[in-house]
Amino acid sequence: MKRKYNILRWPVHTLKACVNELKLVMGDVGVLVFFVLVSIAYPILYSLIYNTEMAHDVRVVVVDDDRSAESREFVRALDATSEVKVIGYAANMQEARTQMCEHNCYGIINLPRDYALCLGRGEQAHVNIYCDMSVMLRYRQILMSTTAVQLTLSSHIQKAKASVIPINIGGGTIDNEQVALGNTAMGLGSAVLPCILVLVLQQSMILGVGMLHGGARDRRRRFGGIDPEEYDAVALVSVVGRALAHLLVYAVPAVYALLVVPKFFDFPQNGPIIDIVAMALPYLIACSFMSQTFKIFVRGRESTFITMVFTSIIFVFLSGISWPRSSMSQLWITLGNMVPSTWASQGYIAMQSNGASLAAQSHAYMMLWVLCGFYLVSAVLIEAFVARKQTRNPRKRQY
């Protein structure tokens, strides 16, 4: 017989559903691994990977086909940078490739035969760069140092040309100085890790909720369509009660990942703590409701890994960390807007890197609350009309 609940007692049933969910979480080692261990270990692991921030003295070889004073000046200037170390010259590209294959160097700088000739004619000269892409930090340092040297030498050439002009042009050439505002270390870790820290919380919750749902389906198969560990309540009460439990479990991991880990590894920490906590609240709620929506794709505990793990890569790209959202098509921008980590990472990066307040990130903050409402409706519909029918009538469905 189906129970009838007085709507005035829904808060009580919500708390009971929350307590029941907490019992399921604490009694399941696999779920605890995702909810707690992953949320604690992964931020440390990723931070250690990018802890170097900047690579120095990346070894390169030079193939100088021009053999002119200008090409030698370029090589000396490149070797003087802190990012690159020229270990020697190679007679040709084949010899340089051999050294790279033997890991004696991680980059090849090729100066073509017409390098000095193009500079003398006032034409654009080219420098070819070949990099080992196995480690992005090395590629970044070689590219940035080579570009900086080329810009500096070009500036000197422009100044030399301007000095022989008899007309007073009102000053010298424009000096270029780069000043880092948020990411003062100009490191890859400080640029990437804030988004990763936010994404880890979302992905671990998706996997943990999927495993809980898979466990419930397994119990129903064993007990003839009945889950003895479930608190039977209306769909809205069940969804909100579970979300409250997830929020309580993630309170400490969220503070740890968003506030403590940046202090350990000296990542940018310019955001007001109260604003970061305020941004995290709707983010965790939206993640819980989205996880309860995505659980429809889970057919068992083991299938969680097959159906959910791959979404990490998709969400990383949609957040704009790998490819700027401004360069995405409208389709991908719309899909990214439907993912809580997209808005949370934008707000978190703006706060921590540039010291933005919650008021300055009001759009991202409001979008997180909009996603809370959207995924609440979807989770309730899934719970009421899909998940319960699939699990409570196992004889009518082939698994």
Indicate whether 175 belongs to any domain: no
- Reported as a single tens digit per residue, the pLDDT across 158-200 is 666 665 545 444 444 555 566 666 666 566 667 778 888 999 9
Indicate whether 377 belongs to any domain: yes
Distance CA 50, CA 70 (A): 37
**In a shared domain, residues 45 and 111:** no
Calculate the alpha carbon distances from 80 to 105, 111, 149, 254, 370 in Å: 17, 17, 10, 44, 53
Poorest-confidence range of 2-16, 21-35, 382-396? 382-396
Strands (E), the chain: 58-64, 84-89, 107-111, 128-131
Supply the range of the domain harboring residue 143: 58-162
Ramachandran quadrant class, 397 (left: phi over 0; alpha: psi -120 to 50; beta: rest): beta
| DSSP class per residue in 289-352 | HHHHHHGGG--STTHHHHHHTTHHHHHHHHHTSSS-GGGS-HHHHHHHHTSHHHHHHHHHHHHH
Does residue 380 have a pLDDT over 80? Answer: yes
**In a shared domain, residues 255 and 377:** yes
Distance CA 220, CA 97 (A): 61
Indicate whether 2 belongs to any domain: no
Does residue 53 have a pLDDT over 70? Answer: no
> Comparing 313 with 184, which gets the higher pLDDT?
313
**In a shared domain, residues 249 and 105:** no
**In a shared domain, residues 217 and 314:** yes
Indicate whether 214 belongs to any domain: yes
Does residue 399 have a pLDDT over 90? Answer: no
Does residue 372 have a pLDDT over 80? Answer: yes
Tell me the average pLDDT across 302-330.
84
Indicate whether 395 belongs to any domain: no
Cβ(268)–Cβ(182) below 8 Å: yes
Q: Which residues contact 98 (CB under 8 A, 6 or more apart)?
A: none
Domain count, the chain: 2
**In a shared domain, residues 65 and 19:** no
- Reported as a single tens digit per residue, the pLDDT across 128-147 is 999 887 777 788 788 888 88
**In a shared domain, residues 264 and 362:** yes
Does residue 48 have a pLDDT over 50? Answer: yes
Q: Which residues contact 35 (CB under 8 A, 6 or more apart)?
A: 25, 204, 205, 208, 246, 249, 250, 253
**In a shared domain, residues 17 and 89:** no
107-111 vs 58-64, strand pairing mode: parallel
| Cα torsion angle, 112, 114, 119, 120, sign | positive
Indicate whether 302 belongs to any domain: yes
**In a shared domain, residues 236 and 370:** yes
Does residue 3 have a pLDDT over 60? Answer: no
Q: Which residues contact 199 (CB under 8 A, 6 or more apart)?
A: 312, 315, 316, 319, 341, 345
Q: Which residues contact 301 (CB under 8 A, 6 or more apart)?
A: 30, 211, 214, 215, 218
Cβ(307)–Cβ(210) below 8 Å: yes
CATH of the domain at 70: 3.40.1710.10
The pLDDT, as a whole number, for residue 312 is 84
Cβ(210)–Cβ(218) below 8 Å: no
Judged by DSSP in three states, 121 sits in helix
Judged by DSSP in three states, 168 sits in coil
Point out the domain boundary residue: 162, 197, 213: 162
**In a shared domain, residues 44 and 22:** yes
**In a shared domain, residues 217 and 145:** no
Indicate whether 177 belongs to any domain: no
Tell me the β-bridge partners of 111: 64
- Reported as a single tens digit per residue, the pLDDT across 211-228 is 998 888 888 888 777 778
**In a shared domain, residues 214 and 354:** yes
The pLDDT, as a whole number, for residue 171 is 47
Indicate whether 17 belongs to any domain: yes
**In a shared domain, residues 220 and 359:** yes
Cβ(60)–Cβ(86) below 8 Å: yes
